[in-house]
Amino acid sequence: MIDNGEEFLSMHPTQRKWINKCSMCHHRGYKPNILEQLYPYPPTETRNLRCYFKPLALNNDGICDDCNKLLKQKQNETY
Ligand SMILES: [Zn+2]
C-alpha cells in the first residue's frame, strides 16, 4: 500500500501538527476537533488532510479507541 498520507505530510509539513499517532499501534489520524478549531475557514490543506487520514481520537495516555478497548478486554480477562 502506498502511504499517500506520508507523501501529503512531506509536501505540507505544517499539517503534521494536526496528526495524532497512537503510541500502541502507531496508527495515525487527524485530530477530530480540527475543523471546529479552524471554523469557519479551514485552509485547503487541512481539508485535504481529511482525504488521507481518518479522525483519530487519543486518550490521555496517547492511545486510540481501538487499543483502549483491547486493553480493557485484556484487563477483564486477567481479573
Ligand atoms: Zn492504537
Q: How far is the CA of 52 from the centre of ligand 1 (A)?
A: 18
Distance 2 CA to ligand 1 centre (A): 20
Structure-block grid coordinates of residue 54: 481518518
- What DSSP line would sit under 32-77, residue for residue? TTHHHHHTT---HHHHHHHHH--B--B-TTS-BHHHHHHHHHHHHH
pLDDT, one tens digit per residue, over 35-46 is 888 989 999 999
- Confidence at residue 2, expressed as pLDDT on a 0 to 100 scale: 60
Span from the CA of 23 to the centroid of ligand 1 (angstroms): 7
* Interval between CA 64 and ligand 1 midpoint (Å): 4
pLDDT < 70 positions in the chain: 1-2, 79
